[in-house]
Chain A
């Protein structure tokens, strides 16, 4: 099992450009998440999908959109990138959000630089 995979690993964008970050999991998990990690800030939830067909905003959704393409895949789109979106983006999945003691499994991350 590959677990959670993310593409691309690195990306450099110019302000105003758009891009989509891809995430896939092969653990048959129902719930998927997108986080960003900035120095000294911890991981912050951008969007999550509790189950296929549903998406909800997290703590910092502005400037992002998501698509839960199917049970395996959850993409994150930046429509018009801004320097403030320079960060490391992690995708995660779990069996089912809401379960007591639920554990999340993370992908390797995408490092994004917006100039």
Chain B
């Protein structure tokens, strides 16, 4: 079983739609959680951290469910510029230096 699993998609949604992605992780001791965004042929960039209480940044809402070991990302009022691959990232404790574990990503295309 992969440490971090995501539905690869692709998700094709019309502009203005609401879309949600889920991600599951296997290490129950994981400490930190993130969503990164990666545009085609570009580097990953941090979209938002995910906190236990859930957090919102404009049109983006991230939630964490530790009991079920999943993380979600909700995008409201989708824009064409939201088209990208969204990476779920988990920071499990690993020895003396923590390392990020990346999901393989969910591809989103927002259609005009």
The stretch among A12-20, A64-72, A102-110 that forms the contact with chain B is A102-110
Which residues of A30-51 have CB atoms within 8 Å of chain B's CB atoms? Answer: 31, 33, 40-45, 48, 50
Q: In the assembled complex, which residues on chain B have CB atoms less than 8 Å from the CB atom of A101?
A: 32, 49, 91
Q: In the assembled complex, which residues on chain A have CB atoms less than 8 Å from the CB atom of B42?
A: 108-109
Consensus secondary structure, chain B interface: loop
Identity of the chain B residue whose Cβ is nearest the Cβ of A3 in the assembled complex: B43
- CB of B96 closer than 8 Å to a CB of A: yes
- CB of B4 closer than 8 Å to a CB of A: yes
Contact of A102 among B98, B103, B105 (CB under 8 A): B98
Contact of A100 among B8, B31, B46, B97 (CB under 8 A): B31
Q: How large is the interface on A (under 10, 10 to 19, 20 to 34, 35 or more residues)?
A: 20 to 34
- CB of A90 closer than 8 Å to a CB of B: yes
- CB of A61 closer than 8 Å to a CB of B: no
Q: In the assembled complex, which residues on chain A have CB atoms less than 8 Å from the CB atom of B100?
A: 45, 104
A102-B32, A102-B91 known; A48 vs B102 contact (CB < 8 Å)? no
- CB of B27 closer than 8 Å to a CB of A: no
Which residues of A82-115 have CB atoms within 8 Å of chain B's CB atoms? Answer: 90, 97-109
Q: How many residues of B contact A (CB 8 A)?
A: 22
Identity of the chain A residue whose Cβ is nearest the Cβ of B46 in the assembled complex: A103
Say whether B97 contacts A31, CB under 8 Å. Answer: yes
Say whether A97 contacts B43, CB under 8 Å. Answer: no
- CB of A56 closer than 8 Å to a CB of B: yes
**Lowest 10 CB-CB distances: which A-B pairs, in order?**
A106-B43, A42-B104, A97-B97, A43-B102, A42-B102, A50-B97, A101-B32, A98-B98, A106-B44, A103-B46
Interface residues of A (CB under 8 A from B): 31, 33, 40-45, 48, 50, 56, 58, 90, 97-109
CB pairs A–B below 8 angstroms (10 shown):
A41-B104, A42-B87, A42-B102, A43-B87, A50-B97, A97-B97, A100-B32, A101-B32, A106-B44, A108-B42
